[in-house]
A and B are shown apart, each in its own frame.
Chain A
């Protein structure tokens, strides 16, 4: 069972918007920056969002991140078929001497 809770799946029609929630606690999201990773089928994960809301070079602004308290959210607008993937949130957790934790992952389906 993951320390960070994400919905197993979300879906929307092409061109629409989806949001993915990531819920944690004071020892992880509440005290540290959140990052998001996209894993397309059969490929290695890719950094999508870091420091809660920053996009690496090459990531389109259709992807956005935010954080409030002990929760974070990934938003994807203008949904495309190429966005079908698994999405994971992650952050450092200060408990138990320190370790990194990932969310359980969310499968995005474009209808």
Chain B
């Protein structure tokens, strides 16, 4: 069974940092693109960043570029999101996803339950 389990969320002050982790199991992690998707309380879905199988292709949402860094450790079946210079508007539940990527196609096949990040003083 595919499992994606996020951790690392919590309360952080504006300007602070946080590192999220996503542990994957039940599939060949090294063979998939992965993403972080967030959802602010009561709001819609917002894609944050994705990374290809070997970590050499990475894309970011414009508002997090330069502040967030996505990475992966295929040996440990883990996905990460380093978040620096956090702002109140980054407050959201962050979920990792297993993705399907191809020519003209991209979608999120499996989702984790998410970890809540709250940025507040």
Q: Which residues of A contact B (CB under 8 A)?
A: 2, 31-33, 35, 37, 39, 44-47, 50-51, 56, 86, 88, 90-92, 96-105
Which residue of A45, A92, A100, A101 has the most chain B CB atoms within 10 A of its CB atom? A100
Partner of A51, one of B35, B50, B105, B112: B105
**A46 to B112, alpha carbons, bound, how many Å?**
10
B-side interface mostly: strand
A-side interface mostly: strand
**A33 to B99, alpha carbons, bound, how many Å?**
14
In the complex, the answer to whether B106 meets A92 with C-beta atoms within 8 Å is yes
A-B contact count (CB 8 A): 70
A99-B60 in contact given A44-B112, A45-B45, A105-B44 (Cβ < 8 Å): yes
In the complex, the answer to whether A91 meets B45 with C-beta atoms within 8 Å is no
User: Can you identify 29 A-B contacts, CB atoms within 8 angstroms?
Assistant: A32-B104, A33-B104, A33-B106, A33-B107, A35-B108, A37-B45, A37-B108, A44-B112, A47-B107, A47-B109, A47-B110, A50-B105, A50-B107, A56-B109, A88-B44, A88-B45, A90-B45, A90-B47, A90-B108, A92-B104, A92-B106, A97-B59, A99-B60, A99-B61, A99-B62, A100-B106, A101-B47, A102-B45, A103-B44
A98 cross-chain contacts in B, Cβ below 8 A: 59
